[in-house]
Amino acid sequence: MSNILVAYFSAGGTTGRTAKLLAKAAGAELFEIQPKAPYTAADLDWTNKKSRSSLEMNDPASRPEIESRIADMGAFDTVFVGFPIWWYTAPTIVKTFLESYDFAGKTIVPFATSGGSGLGRTADALRPCAPDAVWKTGKVLRGETETSLKNWVESLGV
């Protein structure tokens, strides 16, 4: 089995719980993408056009700073990148993460959590942030079990 990392951003805990289950199912290491300035409840108020998350998502150049880095990204062949769906796509901090490392030749598999949205064109929006990676088709994970996640990982051939 290749060396696998599950990296995730979770604002409310749902993506974190899913990422931990995925890491267990895949026998992977786990890394939380944490913002240098943590999000408050007010920051995450998507109904407020002046909230931090709204401003970030409306600015294509937004790249929130990340608290820490992975010491040796070279140790991983496959990276699952998880996030909640915000405004029908990945939060901009995910772009910060992808642009922080050289993913040339590595396999990236996006996964998301969402109350109702699908992945849509999220992978298309993220691909330019790691253009030399091999991108696998990702999916939205809802109510998955360790067994269903293990089957998904195996189906990807990673």
pLDDT in tens, the chain (158 residues): 459 999 999 998 999 999 999 999 999 999 999 999 999 999 999 889 999 999 999 898 999 999 999 999 999 999 999 999 988 889 999 999 999 999 999 999 999 998 888 888 899 999 999 999 999 999 999 989 999 999 999 999 88
Q: At what angle do helices 146-156 and 14-26 cross, to 10 degrees?
A: 60
* Centroid of chain to Cα 15: 9
Give the residue carrying structure tokens 């029908």: 88
| φ, ψ (nearest 5 deg) of residue 61 | -90, -5
The token pair that represents 78 in the structure block: 């496959």
How far apart (Å, rounded) are the C-alpha atoms in residues 118 and 59?
Answer: 22
Could you tell me which CATH class the domain 4-156 is placed in? alpha beta
Q: For residue 105, is it left (φ>0), alpha (ψ between -120 and 50) or beta?
A: left
List residues bridging with 7 in a β-sheet.
31, 81
Domain boundaries, the chain: 4-156
The token pair that represents 30 in the structure block: 């786990």
How far apart (Å, rounded) are the C-alpha atoms in residues 81 and 70?
Answer: 13
